[in-house]
């Protein structure tokens, strides 16, 4: 699977696990993502298992699959995707950057 398909599949299994009480018999993710640091994903865009479910099926946080965070653009006659508005910097509030 490509990265987007993997995210979509992981997110579906995550919601099944959280809201339909389906217990996976294996790890449901292929990778995890770094978040909450400059240049990385925002914590607001991540999926992570709540402690009540346990983390054995999804031990690492992963970027959620949201189609509204992608833009299609053409380059050299080929369609590409650009991911936008998911970085740590996009979700900072003015009070977050104030030094005390």
**The predicted structure's pLDDT at residue 100:** 47
82/72 Cα distance (integer angstroms): 6
**The predicted structure's pLDDT at residue 15:** 92
pLDDT along the chain (100 residues), means of 10: 92 91 87 91 90 84 92 95 85 57
**The predicted structure's pLDDT at residue 54:** 73
**The predicted structure's pLDDT at residue 94:** 57
Strands 78-83 and 62-63: unpaired
**The predicted structure's pLDDT at residue 59:** 92
95/85 Cα distance (integer angstroms): 19
**For residue 45, how far is the Cα from the chain centroid?**
5
């Amino acid at each position: 699977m490509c990265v987007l398909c993997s995210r979509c599949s992981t997110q579906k299994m995550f919601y099944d696990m959280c809201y339909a009480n389906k217990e996976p018999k294996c790890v449901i993710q292929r990778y995890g993502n770094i978040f909450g640091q400059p240049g990385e994903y925002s914590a607001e865009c991540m999926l992570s298992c709540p402690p009540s479910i346990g983390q054995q099926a999804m031990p690492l946080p992963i970027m959620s699959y949201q189609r509204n965070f992608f833009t299609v653009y053409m380059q050299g006659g080929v369609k590409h995707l650009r991911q936008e508005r998911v970085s740590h910097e996009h979700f900072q509030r003015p009070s977050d950057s104030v030094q005390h």
